[in-house]
A and B are shown apart, each in its own frame.
Chain A
């Protein structure tokens, strides 16, 4: 089946620093990748939709200058949390869609802790 990887799985950083999270589709080309944020015991909140070669589409309330998304190739999308603050601590999950079906394949997630 389709596999999506995310790196790193966990990151702890100091307030004010930037953190980059990578999302890769390993065995298929992802026309679209999605970035979600999940708070403890809560649902997934869509942050942005990323299409290869074009600018990401951000959901209402998500700051595009704070959460930089780059979809440089059909297998890689990156999310950079700039000038991270403790309130940015969360579980960030990416998913990828191959364009063949509507199913989204989720990465294992990245646990970000900002001190």
Chain B
């Protein structure tokens, strides 16, 4: 079945620095979605990428979808303490429209 791998699992960032989390699917995706889960909270939808090579920005967050629609990345610039949490990518399968979540990247920020 479809597998979605995400790295790194943990990201310790100095406040103000940039970082990137990467997501790879074993199969071509219909779309890829990104969610953020704050400590003790539930996943909250951030964005969806549908088109091959698509790039979307939300303030300091930049999301990319690969040309082959099998990989994606989330880049955060000038990290702030409010960025703390776990970021999950989730790939929507072409075949059965199931959402497969990556393992998540848990971000901590050093002030």
- Please determine whether A41 and B106 come into contact, CB atoms closer than 8 angstroms: yes
Interface of B is mostly: strand
- Please determine whether A44 and B33 come into contact, CB atoms closer than 8 angstroms: no
Distance to closest chain A CB from B33 (angstroms): 7
Cα separation A60 to B106 with both chains bound (whole Å):
27
Q: Indicate whether B76 reaches chain A with its CB closer than 8 angstroms.
A: no
- Please determine whether B31 and A102 come into contact, CB atoms closer than 8 angstroms: yes
Partner of A46, one of B30, B88, B98: B98
Q: Indicate whether B66 reaches chain A with its CB closer than 8 angstroms.
A: no
Flag A39-50 by CB within 8 Å of B: 1 or 0 each: 001111110010
Distance to closest chain A CB from B106 (angstroms): 7
Cα separation A97 to B63 with both chains bound (whole Å):
22
Q: Indicate whether A27 reaches chain B with its CB closer than 8 angstroms.
A: no
- Please determine whether A46 and B42 come into contact, CB atoms closer than 8 angstroms: no
Flag A76-108 by CB within 8 Å of B: 1 or 0 each: 000000000000000001010000011111111
B residues apposed to A, CB below 8 Å: 1, 30-31, 33, 35, 41-45, 48, 88, 92, 97-104, 106
User: What are 9 A-to-B residue pairs whose CB atoms are below 8 Å?
Assistant: A34-B99, A42-B103, A43-B88, A43-B102, A43-B103, A43-B104, A46-B101, A104-B45, A106-B44
A residues apposed to B, CB below 8 Å: 34, 41-46, 49, 60, 93, 95, 101-109
